Amino acid sequence: MARENLAVTEMGRAGVNLNAALTPAHADGHAFGFSARRQVRLINAGASPRTVTVVMPGQVDGQELPDRPYVLAAGADLLVPPFPPIYRQSNDSVWMNYDNPADVQVAVYELPA
């Protein structure tokens, strides 16, 4: 299998149904197109903690950049603000991996301009 692309839900001025856009976590991770107006919602509906890791591409002075983990406690609902350009992969996307996809849901929302 391969990394799965996430749909992006555009937020209009009238608002958006946050739950309608949720997608189950994918065992091989997710990707979504980079934009400085996109934020991610992560939900852990399970009884055990889960970690969602945003993959940091590239190097600085020959050193790999560390990935960014988000530890979700049981029942957590986390809204992550837009990522800066340093998170952009060479294919212009942002990559997320899951330590265990069970009980994790994710959504990407694009803020209005």
Q: What is the pLDDT along the chain (113 residues), one digit of tens a residue?
A: 699 999 999 999 998 998 888 999 999 999 999 999 999 999 999 999 999 999 999 888 999 999 999 999 999 999 999 999 999 999 999 999 999 999 999 999 999 98
Give 19-22 contacts, CB < 8 A, sequence gap 24+.
Answer: 21/107, 21/108, 21/109, 22/105, 22/106, 22/107
Q: Which residues contact 92 (CB under 8 A, 6 or more apart)?
A: 33, 34
Please state, as a whole number, how many other Cβ atoms lie within 10 Å of the Cβ of residue 25: 23
Q: Please compute, for residue 8, the number of CA atoms within 13 A of its CA located in the half-sphere on the CB side.
A: 19
Output phi, psi for 21, to 5 deg: -95, 0
State the pLDDT at residue 82: 96
- As its CATH architecture, domain 4-110 has Sandwich (2.60)
Q: How far is CA 4 from the centre of its chain?
A: 12
pLDDT of residue 60: 87
**pTM of the predicted model, to two decimals?**
0.93
Please give the pLDDT value at position 91: 96
Beta bridge partners of 80: 40
Residues 107 and 42: their CA atoms lie apart, in Å, by 7
* Structure confidence at residue 58 (pLDDT): 87
Q: How far is CA 56 from CA 2, 17, 22, 47, 102, in A?
A: 18, 30, 24, 28, 23
